[in-house]
Amino acid sequence: MRKSITYLPKQNQEELKLLANELCKWLPQTVMIILYGSYVQVEYTGCHRQDEPDIVNLPISDYDILVVTSGISNKDAERRLEKLQSRFVSAERQEVHIPVQFVSDDVNTVNQHLKDGCFFYTQLKKEGIMLYNNGKYKLHRRKKLRYNEIRQRAQTHFDDKLDKADRFLKGVYFYLNDQDFNMASFLLHQVFESCYCSVLAVFTLRNNKQHNLLRLYKAIRHYSPELAAVFSFNDTEEKRLFHLVRTAYIQSRYNPHFEVSKEDIEALILKASLFIDVTKRVCKKRIKEYEEME
Protein backbone atom coordinates (compact mmCIF):
# COMPACT_ATOMS: atom_id res chain seq x y z
CA MET A 1 0.00 0.00 0.00
CA ARG A 2 1.26 3.44 -0.96
CA LYS A 3 1.62 6.41 1.39
CA SER A 4 2.38 9.38 -0.85
CA ILE A 5 -0.19 11.76 -2.35
CA THR A 6 2.40 14.15 -3.81
CA TYR A 7 1.20 13.30 -7.34
CA LEU A 8 -2.04 15.20 -6.60
CA PRO A 9 -2.44 18.98 -6.98
CA LYS A 10 -1.47 20.95 -3.86
CA GLN A 11 -5.08 21.83 -3.00
CA ASN A 12 -6.08 18.15 -3.00
CA GLN A 13 -3.09 17.26 -0.82
CA GLU A 14 -4.01 19.96 1.71
CA GLU A 15 -7.68 18.92 1.75
CA LEU A 16 -6.86 15.25 2.30
CA LYS A 17 -4.51 16.11 5.17
CA LEU A 18 -7.24 18.27 6.71
CA LEU A 19 -9.76 15.45 6.31
CA ALA A 20 -7.42 12.98 8.01
CA ASN A 21 -6.82 15.34 10.94
CA GLU A 22 -10.52 16.06 11.38
CA LEU A 23 -11.41 12.37 11.16
CA CYS A 24 -9.02 11.52 14.00
CA LYS A 25 -10.53 14.29 16.15
CA TRP A 26 -14.13 13.47 15.27
CA LEU A 27 -13.69 9.70 15.56
CA PRO A 28 -10.86 8.90 18.03
CA GLN A 29 -11.36 5.17 17.43
CA THR A 30 -9.87 5.62 13.94
CA VAL A 31 -6.81 3.42 13.44
CA MET A 32 -6.29 3.84 9.68
CA ILE A 33 -7.53 6.16 6.94
CA ILE A 34 -7.21 4.86 3.39
CA LEU A 35 -7.86 6.73 0.15
CA TYR A 36 -9.20 4.64 -2.74
CA GLY A 37 -11.15 5.14 -5.95
CA SER A 38 -10.63 7.69 -8.70
CA TYR A 39 -8.09 9.88 -6.86
CA VAL A 40 -5.88 6.83 -6.42
CA GLN A 41 -6.30 5.70 -10.02
CA VAL A 42 -5.74 9.27 -11.29
CA GLU A 43 -9.08 9.12 -13.12
CA TYR A 44 -10.72 11.90 -11.15
CA THR A 45 -12.63 14.88 -12.52
CA GLY A 46 -11.74 17.99 -10.57
CA CYS A 47 -13.38 21.40 -10.36
CA HIS A 48 -13.61 23.17 -13.73
CA ARG A 49 -13.00 26.81 -14.51
CA GLN A 50 -15.86 28.92 -15.78
CA ASP A 51 -14.02 29.42 -19.06
CA GLU A 52 -14.25 25.70 -19.85
CA PRO A 53 -17.91 25.38 -20.92
CA ASP A 54 -17.28 22.22 -22.90
CA ILE A 55 -16.50 20.18 -19.78
CA VAL A 56 -18.48 22.00 -17.11
CA ASN A 57 -21.15 19.27 -17.10
CA LEU A 58 -18.76 16.53 -16.04
CA PRO A 59 -19.42 15.41 -12.44
CA ILE A 60 -16.72 16.16 -9.87
CA SER A 61 -15.15 13.01 -8.47
CA ASP A 62 -15.52 12.37 -4.75
CA TYR A 63 -12.78 11.61 -2.26
CA ASP A 64 -13.47 7.92 -1.48
CA ILE A 65 -12.14 7.17 1.99
CA LEU A 66 -12.19 3.98 4.06
CA VAL A 67 -12.05 4.72 7.79
CA VAL A 68 -10.76 1.69 9.70
CA THR A 69 -11.78 1.68 13.36
CA SER A 70 -11.38 -0.30 16.57
CA GLY A 71 -13.50 -0.27 19.72
CA ILE A 72 -16.68 1.18 18.21
CA SER A 73 -19.62 -0.42 16.44
CA ASN A 74 -19.82 0.17 12.71
CA LYS A 75 -23.29 1.68 13.16
CA ASP A 76 -22.00 4.29 15.63
CA ALA A 77 -18.96 5.01 13.46
CA GLU A 78 -21.11 5.55 10.38
CA ARG A 79 -23.42 7.87 12.33
CA ARG A 80 -20.49 10.06 13.34
CA LEU A 81 -19.04 10.02 9.83
CA GLU A 82 -22.38 11.06 8.39
CA LYS A 83 -22.34 14.14 10.62
CA LEU A 84 -18.77 14.94 9.62
CA GLN A 85 -19.66 14.47 5.96
CA SER A 86 -22.57 16.89 6.36
CA ARG A 87 -20.20 19.44 7.84
CA PHE A 88 -17.87 19.29 4.86
CA VAL A 89 -20.68 19.75 2.34
CA SER A 90 -22.19 22.64 4.28
CA ALA A 91 -22.41 25.87 2.29
CA GLU A 92 -21.10 27.83 5.26
CA ARG A 93 -17.87 25.85 5.46
CA GLN A 94 -15.51 25.55 2.54
CA GLU A 95 -12.47 23.77 3.98
CA VAL A 96 -12.93 20.97 1.45
CA HIS A 97 -14.16 21.76 -2.06
CA ILE A 98 -14.50 18.14 -3.19
CA PRO A 99 -17.43 15.90 -2.12
CA VAL A 100 -16.43 13.21 0.41
CA GLN A 101 -17.68 9.63 0.62
CA PHE A 102 -16.80 7.76 3.82
CA VAL A 103 -16.94 3.99 4.28
CA SER A 104 -16.16 2.55 7.70
CA ASP A 105 -15.12 -0.93 8.84
CA ASP A 106 -13.68 -2.47 11.97
CA VAL A 107 -10.02 -3.47 11.57
CA ASN A 108 -10.83 -7.13 12.35
CA THR A 109 -13.50 -7.11 9.63
CA VAL A 110 -11.06 -5.65 7.10
CA ASN A 111 -8.45 -8.31 7.93
CA GLN A 112 -11.01 -11.09 7.68
CA HIS A 113 -12.03 -9.87 4.23
CA LEU A 114 -8.37 -9.80 3.21
CA LYS A 115 -7.94 -13.38 4.42
CA ASP A 116 -11.02 -14.42 2.46
CA GLY A 117 -9.78 -12.73 -0.71
CA CYS A 118 -12.67 -10.27 -0.94
CA PHE A 119 -12.20 -8.34 -4.16
CA PHE A 120 -12.86 -4.82 -2.80
CA TYR A 121 -10.44 -5.15 0.12
CA THR A 122 -7.80 -7.00 -1.90
CA GLN A 123 -7.76 -4.22 -4.49
CA LEU A 124 -7.81 -1.65 -1.71
CA LYS A 125 -4.70 -3.20 -0.14
CA LYS A 126 -3.01 -3.24 -3.54
CA GLU A 127 -3.93 0.22 -4.83
CA GLY A 128 -5.04 2.29 -1.82
CA ILE A 129 -3.06 5.08 -0.19
CA MET A 130 -2.62 5.19 3.59
CA LEU A 131 -3.42 8.71 4.74
CA TYR A 132 -3.14 7.85 8.45
CA ASN A 133 -2.02 4.86 10.51
CA ASN A 134 -1.76 4.88 14.32
CA GLY A 135 0.69 1.96 14.11
CA LYS A 136 -1.21 -0.33 16.49
CA TYR A 137 -2.52 -2.71 13.84
CA LYS A 138 -1.32 -4.38 10.67
CA LEU A 139 -3.35 -5.31 7.66
CA HIS A 140 -3.37 -8.98 6.71
CA ARG A 141 -1.47 -10.01 3.61
CA ARG A 142 -3.79 -9.87 0.62
CA LYS A 143 -4.87 -13.18 -0.84
CA LYS A 144 -4.29 -13.91 -4.51
CA LEU A 145 -7.51 -13.27 -6.39
CA ARG A 146 -9.31 -16.18 -8.02
CA TYR A 147 -11.12 -14.57 -10.90
CA ASN A 148 -13.37 -17.55 -11.54
CA GLU A 149 -14.76 -17.09 -8.00
CA ILE A 150 -15.01 -13.33 -8.50
CA ARG A 151 -16.92 -13.81 -11.76
CA GLN A 152 -19.31 -16.29 -10.14
CA ARG A 153 -20.02 -14.00 -7.18
CA ALA A 154 -20.47 -10.97 -9.44
CA GLN A 155 -22.86 -12.95 -11.63
CA THR A 156 -24.86 -14.06 -8.59
CA HIS A 157 -25.19 -10.48 -7.32
CA PHE A 158 -26.11 -9.26 -10.78
CA ASP A 159 -28.77 -11.90 -11.40
CA ASP A 160 -30.38 -11.30 -8.01
CA LYS A 161 -30.47 -7.50 -8.11
CA LEU A 162 -31.48 -7.09 -11.74
CA ASP A 163 -34.25 -9.63 -11.28
CA LYS A 164 -35.52 -7.49 -8.40
CA ALA A 165 -35.27 -4.34 -10.54
CA ASP A 166 -37.34 -5.96 -13.31
CA ARG A 167 -39.96 -7.15 -10.80
CA PHE A 168 -40.16 -3.75 -9.11
CA LEU A 169 -40.73 -2.13 -12.51
CA LYS A 170 -43.63 -4.52 -13.18
CA GLY A 171 -45.09 -3.37 -9.86
CA VAL A 172 -44.72 0.25 -10.96
CA TYR A 173 -46.92 -0.43 -14.01
CA PHE A 174 -49.50 -2.16 -11.81
CA TYR A 175 -49.79 0.81 -9.44
CA LEU A 176 -49.74 3.27 -12.34
CA ASN A 177 -52.78 1.53 -13.83
CA ASP A 178 -54.32 1.46 -10.35
CA GLN A 179 -53.66 5.23 -10.09
CA ASP A 180 -51.73 4.74 -6.84
CA PHE A 181 -48.91 7.09 -7.84
CA ASN A 182 -47.33 7.23 -4.38
CA MET A 183 -46.82 3.47 -4.29
CA ALA A 184 -45.54 3.59 -7.87
CA SER A 185 -42.95 6.18 -6.81
CA PHE A 186 -41.78 3.97 -3.94
CA LEU A 187 -41.26 1.03 -6.28
CA LEU A 188 -39.43 3.28 -8.74
CA HIS A 189 -37.03 4.12 -5.93
CA GLN A 190 -36.53 0.37 -5.47
CA VAL A 191 -35.79 -0.04 -9.18
CA PHE A 192 -33.02 2.55 -9.08
CA GLU A 193 -31.66 1.29 -5.76
CA SER A 194 -31.45 -2.28 -7.12
CA CYS A 195 -29.59 -1.10 -10.22
CA TYR A 196 -27.15 1.06 -8.28
CA CYS A 197 -26.45 -1.77 -5.83
CA SER A 198 -26.00 -4.20 -8.71
CA VAL A 199 -23.25 -2.03 -10.20
CA LEU A 200 -21.51 -1.69 -6.84
CA ALA A 201 -21.75 -5.43 -6.19
CA VAL A 202 -20.39 -6.37 -9.63
CA PHE A 203 -17.48 -3.91 -9.48
CA THR A 204 -16.56 -4.30 -5.78
CA LEU A 205 -18.31 -7.54 -4.66
CA ARG A 206 -19.68 -5.58 -1.68
CA ASN A 207 -23.36 -6.10 -0.94
CA ASN A 208 -24.40 -2.51 -0.28
CA LYS A 209 -27.31 -1.74 2.05
CA GLN A 210 -27.55 1.97 1.29
CA HIS A 211 -30.98 3.44 0.43
CA ASN A 212 -29.91 7.02 -0.32
CA LEU A 213 -29.95 7.29 -4.12
CA LEU A 214 -27.70 10.34 -4.16
CA ARG A 215 -24.98 8.51 -2.25
CA LEU A 216 -25.41 5.46 -4.46
CA TYR A 217 -25.16 7.65 -7.55
CA LYS A 218 -21.92 9.18 -6.27
CA ALA A 219 -20.55 5.73 -5.50
CA ILE A 220 -21.16 4.30 -8.99
CA ARG A 221 -20.77 7.25 -11.34
CA HIS A 222 -17.06 6.78 -12.03
CA TYR A 223 -17.63 3.21 -13.21
CA SER A 224 -19.46 4.39 -16.31
CA PRO A 225 -20.17 7.86 -17.76
CA GLU A 226 -23.23 6.28 -19.38
CA LEU A 227 -24.67 5.40 -15.98
CA ALA A 228 -23.97 8.85 -14.60
CA ALA A 229 -25.68 10.49 -17.59
CA VAL A 230 -29.11 8.87 -17.11
CA PHE A 231 -30.03 11.87 -14.95
CA SER A 232 -28.61 15.25 -15.93
CA PHE A 233 -28.04 17.32 -12.80
CA ASN A 234 -27.62 20.40 -14.98
CA ASP A 235 -31.22 20.11 -16.14
CA THR A 236 -33.77 21.56 -13.70
CA GLU A 237 -36.54 19.11 -14.59
CA GLU A 238 -34.32 16.03 -14.41
CA LYS A 239 -32.90 17.26 -11.13
CA ARG A 240 -36.47 17.57 -9.81
CA LEU A 241 -37.34 14.05 -10.97
CA PHE A 242 -34.27 12.59 -9.28
CA HIS A 243 -35.11 14.41 -6.05
CA LEU A 244 -38.66 13.09 -6.26
CA VAL A 245 -37.66 9.44 -6.66
CA ARG A 246 -34.90 9.81 -4.05
CA THR A 247 -37.29 11.12 -1.40
CA ALA A 248 -40.08 8.69 -2.34
CA TYR A 249 -38.46 5.95 -0.24
CA ILE A 250 -39.61 7.75 2.93
CA GLN A 251 -42.16 10.31 1.79
CA SER A 252 -44.42 7.93 -0.14
CA ARG A 253 -44.99 5.83 2.96
CA TYR A 254 -45.01 8.30 5.84
CA ASN A 255 -45.97 11.72 4.51
CA PRO A 256 -49.76 12.03 3.90
CA HIS A 257 -49.14 15.26 1.95
CA PHE A 258 -46.64 13.70 -0.49
CA GLU A 259 -47.96 13.98 -4.03
CA VAL A 260 -46.76 12.53 -7.31
CA SER A 261 -48.43 13.08 -10.66
CA LYS A 262 -49.12 10.52 -13.35
CA GLU A 263 -46.83 12.50 -15.65
CA ASP A 264 -43.99 12.24 -13.10
CA ILE A 265 -44.39 8.47 -12.87
CA GLU A 266 -44.43 8.09 -16.64
CA ALA A 267 -41.28 10.23 -16.98
CA LEU A 268 -39.52 8.21 -14.27
CA ILE A 269 -40.56 4.93 -15.89
CA LEU A 270 -38.66 5.99 -19.02
CA LYS A 271 -35.62 6.79 -16.88
CA ALA A 272 -35.91 3.50 -14.98
CA SER A 273 -36.17 1.44 -18.18
CA LEU A 274 -33.11 3.19 -19.61
CA PHE A 275 -31.20 2.73 -16.36
CA ILE A 276 -31.96 -1.00 -16.26
CA ASP A 277 -30.71 -1.38 -19.85
CA VAL A 278 -27.50 0.56 -19.16
CA THR A 279 -26.91 -1.32 -15.90
CA LYS A 280 -27.23 -4.66 -17.68
CA ARG A 281 -24.80 -3.59 -20.38
CA VAL A 282 -22.19 -2.19 -17.96
CA CYS A 283 -22.37 -5.14 -15.55
CA LYS A 284 -22.24 -7.80 -18.27
CA LYS A 285 -19.18 -6.12 -19.73
CA ARG A 286 -17.46 -6.17 -16.32
CA ILE A 287 -18.35 -9.83 -15.72
CA LYS A 288 -16.93 -10.65 -19.16
CA GLU A 289 -13.68 -8.92 -18.13
CA TYR A 290 -13.46 -11.16 -15.04
CA GLU A 291 -13.92 -14.18 -17.31
CA GLU A 292 -11.03 -13.05 -19.49
CA MET A 293 -8.81 -12.70 -16.40
CA GLU A 294 -9.31 -16.35 -15.35
DSSP string, 226-281: HHHTSS-TTSHHHHHHHHHHHHHHHHHHH-TT----HHHHHHHHHHHHHHHHHHHH
Nearest to 170 by CA among 195, 148, 191, 194: 191
Q: Does domain 10-133 fall into CATH 3.30.460.10?
A: yes
Domain boundaries, the chain: 10-133, 147-293
Whether the domain at 10-133 and the domain at 147-293 fall into the same CATH topology: no
Burial (CB < 10 A; 0-12, 13-18, 19+), residue 110, is buried
| Crossing angle between the packed helical segments 74-88 and 10-26, to the nearest 10 degrees | 140
Indicate the DSSP class of residue 56: T
Residue 205 has pLDDT above 90, yes or no: no
94, pLDDT greater than 60: no
pLDDT in tens, 73-84: 988 998 898 888
Q: Is the pLDDT of residue 49 over 60?
A: no
Q: With 50 as the cut, is the pLDDT of residue 51 above it?
A: no
Instruction: Evaluate if residue 265 carries a pLDDT over 90.
Output: yes
Phi, psi of 92 (to 5 degrees): -80, -20
Mean pLDDT over each residue of the chain, to the nearest integer: 85
Q: Is the pLDDT of residue 212 over 90?
A: no
Examine the pLDDT at 280 and tell me if it is beyond 90: yes
Say which residues have a Cβ less than 8 Å from residue 284's Cβ, sequence separation at least 6. 158
The matching CATH number, chosen from 1.20.120.330, 3.40.50.620, 3.40.50.12780, 3.30.1360.170, for 147-293 is 1.20.120.330
Whole-number pLDDT of residue 228: 79
- Is the pLDDT at 257 greater than 70? The verdict is yes
Tell me how far apart the alpha carbons of residues 9 and 22 are, in angstroms, rounded to a whole number.
Answer: 20
